[in-house]
């Protein structure tokens, strides 16, 4: 079974290798003519303002926390989905209760206005 991971390792090695190679190549071959425009932070065409090293809003934390909760929910769903055919309706209702419990949190969050940005 472990042999099936060999392509993954090859991909990792090639990925790291190509990444490092291109970095080194651009370092060796690239011309160094710096202008003010080239030295500016790339902000998708916007002119950058202020500092990036600032405190972030707590709202980002809420988004990350919601993401983790639903991420773990999906992790539990995956082995369930693979076996649903053999386990039948009992497994369906088990997962229904699982999702229902998490839905309470979702509803609480919704009522508290957690999904509104401002």
Q: For 10, phi and psi rounded to 5 degrees?
A: -60, -45
By CB under 8 A, which span of 15-23, 29-37, 40-48, 66-74 interacts with other proteins?
66-74
According to CB under 8 A, which one of 2, 29, 31, 89 is a site residue for other proteins?
2
Q: CA 44, 47, 53, 54 torsion: positive or negative?
A: negative
Contact between 60 and other proteins per CB under 8 A = yes
Which x/- pattern over 91-110 shows residues binding other proteins (rule: CB under 8 A)? x--x--xx--xx-xxx-xx-
DSSP 56-114: PPHHHHHHHHHHHHHHHHHHHHHHHHHHHHHHTHHHHHHHHHHHHHHHHHHHHHHHTTT
Stretch that binds other proteins, among 21-29, 35-43, 73-81 (CB under 8 A): 73-81
Shorter beta-carbon distance to other proteins: residue 27 or 71: 71
| CA–CA gap between residue 50 and residue 94 (Å, rounded) | 51
| # binding residues, other proteins (CB under 8 A) | 47
DSSP state, residue 44: T
| Site residues for other proteins per CB under 8 A | 1-2, 5, 9, 53, 55-56, 58-62, 64-69, 71-76, 78-83, 86-87, 90-91, 94, 97-98, 101-102, 104-106, 108-109, 112-114
């Amino acid at each position: 079974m472990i042999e099936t991971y060999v392509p993954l390792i090859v991909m990792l090695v090639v990925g790291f290798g190509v990444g490092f190679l291109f970095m080194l190549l651009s370092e060796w071959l690239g011309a160094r003519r710096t202008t003010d425009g080239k030295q500016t932070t790339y902000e998708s065409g916007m002119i950058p303002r202020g500092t990036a090293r600032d405190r972030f809003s707590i709202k980002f934390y809420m988004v990350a926390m919601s993401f983790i909760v639903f991420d773990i929910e999906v992790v539990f769903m995956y082995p369930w989905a693979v076996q649903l055919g053999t386990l039948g309706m009992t497994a369906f209702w088990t997962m229904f209760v699982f999702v229902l419990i998490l839905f309470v949190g979702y509803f609480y969050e919704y009522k508290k206005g957690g999904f509104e940005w401002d």
